Chains A and B, each alone.
Chain A
Amino acid sequence: MRIYMSIVWIALALQSSNVFAERLLMKNATLMTMGAEGTLEGADLLIEDGEIRAMGIDLQATADTVIDVAGATVTPTLFAGATAIGLVEVNAVKESVDSSLNNSPLGKVHIEFDVRDAYSPHSSLVGITRVEGYGYSLLMANGAEYSVSGIGSLVELDGRFDSFSGNDTLFIDVDGYSSGKVGGSRAAHWMLLEGMMSDLDRRPDSQEYLTQAGRKQLKELRSEGVFVFAANRAADIKQVINFTEKHRLSSVVIGAREAWMLASQLADSGIAVMVNGLDNLPADFDSLGSRLDNAAILNDTGVTVMFTSGGTHNARKVRQGAGTAVAYGMNYMSALRAMTVVPSQIFGGRDRAIKVGNSTDLVVWSGDPLEITSHATAVIMAGQVTSMETRQSKLLERYLPEKPSLGRAYINR
């Protein structure tokens, strides 16, 4: 019965919001603001033109849409991790994959390769991820020919063409797995990266590694961008710290399975990490020290922690990793901040905390947002209650009835 109730509920909400809902009043929420106000019980929230105008107990306001969430937990929308959402439809269908640059014709490093130019907001993955409570992701370039994979940035999962935000972000591999791409030694990653930085100070006609466009791009990145280094081994993370300090970069380590060994140094250098909370195997010689309390140790030491799942289609699984990090000692509120507001801060996006004056996207939860048996019951973006229908929910509708009268092909709403 539950599905019918929730579908009716959403349909009603949509009906009223289809007429452009200027004012939306949410009543009786447990607001986990992820900001200075902390958690507010039994709170009301007024959103006008996408912006939070008021919040508090028993708000007196008129609104086009009123939703009573009956005490449900409400958070900002979640961060889906570093993904290729909108850059891939089916991994094994190569013409539907646009997340990496291979066979580059020029033999140079293409800093300027920007995956945002391939982003499609109409990919089924956008909605499939959003209905699970995820409002934004880090659009990632990966797996190019050299150490540098290219540029991406934050993207809102709102189904719009130009929903990019935050700073340009450069993705760089420096691990052992990728060393084959630069001649067999990970030392060559650093040779290449130092060479690129040197190119910035050379005359354009004497550049060794970069294209003209790449040089311009790297200059901008150095001053305003974020550098994301894929590394797991402590020794490689140490190199990231050195490189970051030498060139005064804003850096993030992704993977970071052995980061716990360098927690203090990462904290001192202001380098954030993005981990998979489920990693704990010595998957290779780069991750012999992989452990489930990695996030807990880093967070306790003052390192900024974020989560990713390593996947794109199943990016929705990142919530399970965060919950697991909590099960293995990470502070609960830190984990929830890592899943909501922190990535936006690190990658130069807007303040996503629930507070007056912010344009905040919201999720209404059936229970604890980090518990695997909970689900998002509604996702509100830019002040609008969004559709919870996806290609997958339509498949469910088609196959849920036990005896379809005319065949399932006719269940086609």
Chain B
Amino acid sequence: MTYLSPFVALASASIATLAIASTPFPSTYAAPDHAPVIITNATILTGTGSRLDDASIFFANGKIVSVGEEPTALPADTTLIDARGAWVTPGIIDVHSHLGVYPSPGVDAHSDGNEATAPVTAEVWAEHSVWPQDPGFGRALAGGITALQILPGSANLFGGRGVTLKNVASVSYQGMKFPNAPYGLKMACGENPKRVYGRKGSGPSTRMGNIAGYRNAWIKAVEYRDAHEQFEALSDEKRGETEKPKRDLELETLAGVLNGDIIVHMHCYRADEMMTILDLAKEFNYKVGTFHHGIEAYKIASELAENDVCGALWADWWGFKMEAYDGIQENIALVDRPKGSCAIVHSDSDEGIQRLNQEAAKAMARGLKAGLEITPERAIQWITSNAAKSLGIEDQTGSLQSGLMADIVVWSGNPFSVYAKATNVFIDGVERFDRLDPSKQPVSDFELGQLMEIER
């Protein structure tokens, strides 16, 4: 994704140096070795808009080697999966999950998803709340989820950093962290921040208060970035005799957005508010990556496409609050319609993440019913390549192309059906889930040994 003007790109170079030198909480994920795999006779949706029938896909050393054409020679240790009747898609990616931060069981002690103590908490990082033993990760894997972004909640104007994970079982989030994926910054429009902080008396209590809150924070972030850039630009001699600007966790994250290193994920329902936010981004020269929930995104589908902003949406949720009142089931299909669009089906739910394929199927069906031409090979992009683009990982995963990560799902049939199930899920070429083999189905520590006393 091209983010910013050359001017800002230049500026980012200096801070990037600073950031890399101090990257804390690094990923420790490394995929184990696996034998090469060839899946044959499958219906393949590539995630690039193509459908291949009776086709094969070959992957080795964690990477996709070939799609469509069967290689002339295969290594001797290649595992063969005859997928006649089955469908193959890229690994499913959910750009909006609270697994780990609002895990199962949903007891108070696990409620770690929203630092709802101040309207601006850009300093918090969702990964520090992720409980890797959430049984929801394993359930999502059974639904074909190979990567997901964990976001803070939406009580705040700036809710903190989101983190992109590989859906691999681990005792630490570092062991799940998607290597080198950019961070996200959760922001929120509308009812939630004004309700939460209006009640607390601190404000904002209105939508105009929300906007003032964002602007004040960005003004500070610009000053912060400039101060650090100016310091880094000093000659060694001058730097030695100048006091180094103080580090500030909140502003460091916001400066990361201004530099294009961190992607904005903005919870926003109403069309008019999204238009305000696009202007806000222009004022401070940053990019809104994705609007999340966007119940009214269909009202500004062209504007979203023109501004290269993704819309991460539900298939059918509506009405739970005033800003969700105009929800229609054709939202995703309409957002998908303009040239250059980036429609995404997201879950925001430990249930929905288990069947994003079905959520996409419902959205596709409503589009077809409305007369829009949408094929499965197009709709699959809503939960694969478009989601990868939203997270800034589209050069690594989200589609079936040689050289990309072998994140692959085999489905028992057409995944746009309530009856289809993911049968095999590969992450970086490693089979992490096999529906027929209990030894390839992860069980979280929490679920281990529960209900041992049931009479059998």
Closest residue on chain A to residue B325 by CB atoms? A90
Interface string of B103-128 (1 = CB under 8 A from A): 01111000000000000000000000
A314 close to chain B: CB less than 8 A = yes
Whether A396 contacts B370 by the Cβ 8 Å rule is: yes
Contacts of A90 in B (CB 8 A): 319-322, 324-325
Interface positions of B from 164 to 213, Cβ below 8 Å from A = 191
Whether A3 contacts B370 by the Cβ 8 Å rule is: yes
| Contacting residue for B418 out of A91, A279, A372, CB 8 A | A372
Whether B318 contacts A314 by the Cβ 8 Å rule is: yes
| Contacting residue for A3 out of B371, B417, B450, CB 8 A | B371
Cα A75 to Cα B361 with chains together (Å): 23
Binds A, one of B145-153, B226-234, B328-336: B328-336
Q: How large is the interface on B (under 10, 10 to 19, 20 to 34, 35 or more residues)?
A: 35 or more
Could you tell me the dominant secondary structure of chain B's interface residues?
loop
Whether B416 contacts A373 by the Cβ 8 Å rule is: yes
Please judge, given known A-B contacts A92-B191, A261-B454, A400-B370, whether A282 and B105 are in contact too, CB under 8 Å. yes
Contacts of A109 in B (CB 8 A): none
Interface size on A, residues (CB 8 A): 46
Binds B, one of A39-47, A320-328, A346-354: A320-328
A371 close to chain B: CB less than 8 A = yes
| Contacting residue for B451 out of A288, A326, A372, CB 8 A | A288
A360 to chain B, nearest CB (A): 25
Cα A317 to Cα B354 with chains together (Å): 15
Please judge, given known A-B contacts A3-B370, A282-B104, A284-B105, whether A372 and B417 are in contact too, CB under 8 Å. yes
Whether A289 contacts B451 by the Cβ 8 Å rule is: yes
B58 close to chain A: CB less than 8 A = no
A203 close to chain B: CB less than 8 A = no
Interface string of B353-383 (1 = CB under 8 A from A): 0110010011011101111000000000000
Whether B371 contacts A4 by the Cβ 8 Å rule is: yes
B330 to chain A, nearest CB (A): 5
| Contacting residue for B322 out of A93, A285, A317, A371, CB 8 A | A93
Contacts of A314 in B (CB 8 A): 316-319
Contacts of A289 in B (CB 8 A): 450-451, 454
Contacts of B354 in A (CB 8 A): 278, 280
Closest residue on chain B to residue A324 by CB atoms? B418
A316 close to chain B: CB less than 8 A = yes
Whether A281 contacts B350 by the Cβ 8 Å rule is: yes
Whether B328 contacts A370 by the Cβ 8 Å rule is: no
A278 to chain B, nearest CB (A): 5
Whether B104 contacts A320 by the Cβ 8 Å rule is: no
B289 close to chain A: CB less than 8 A = no
Please judge, given known A-B contacts A288-B451, A327-B418, A370-B418, whether A281 and B135 are in contact too, CB under 8 Å. yes
B298 close to chain A: CB less than 8 A = yes
| Contacting residue for A371 out of B321, B418, B421, CB 8 A | B418
B5 to chain A, nearest CB (A): 30
Whether A281 contacts B104 by the Cβ 8 Å rule is: yes
Cα A280 to Cα B451 with chains together (Å): 15
B446 close to chain A: CB less than 8 A = yes
A413 close to chain B: CB less than 8 A = no
Whether B319 contacts A125 by the Cβ 8 Å rule is: yes
Cα A143 to Cα B420 with chains together (Å): 36
Closest residue on chain A to residue B107 by CB atoms? A284
Interface positions of A from 121 to 158, Cβ below 8 Å from B = 125
Interface positions of A from 16 to 47, Cβ below 8 Å from B = none
Contacts of B362 in A (CB 8 A): 320, 372-373
| Contacting residue for B419 out of A91, A313, A317, A326, CB 8 A | A326
B326 close to chain A: CB less than 8 A = yes
Whether B351 contacts A399 by the Cβ 8 Å rule is: no
Please judge, given known A-B contacts A282-B135, A282-B446, whether A399 and B299 are in contact too, CB under 8 Å. yes
Interface string of B290-304 (1 = CB under 8 A from A): 000000001100100
Task: Pick 10 A–B contacts, CB within 8 A, sort by A.
Answer: A2-B369, A90-B322, A281-B351, A283-B105, A320-B358, A320-B418, A371-B419, A373-B365, A373-B417, A392-B318
The 9 closest A-B pairs by CB, nearest first: A323-B418, A313-B319, A92-B321, A373-B365, A91-B320, A281-B104, A3-B371, A372-B418, A327-B419
A-B contact sample (20 more), CB < 8 A, given A2-B368, A281-B139, A323-B419: A2-B369, A90-B325, A234-B454, A282-B105, A282-B446, A282-B450, A284-B106, A288-B450, A313-B317, A314-B317, A314-B318, A371-B418, A372-B361, A373-B361, A373-B416, A392-B318, A395-B326, A396-B370, A399-B298, A400-B370
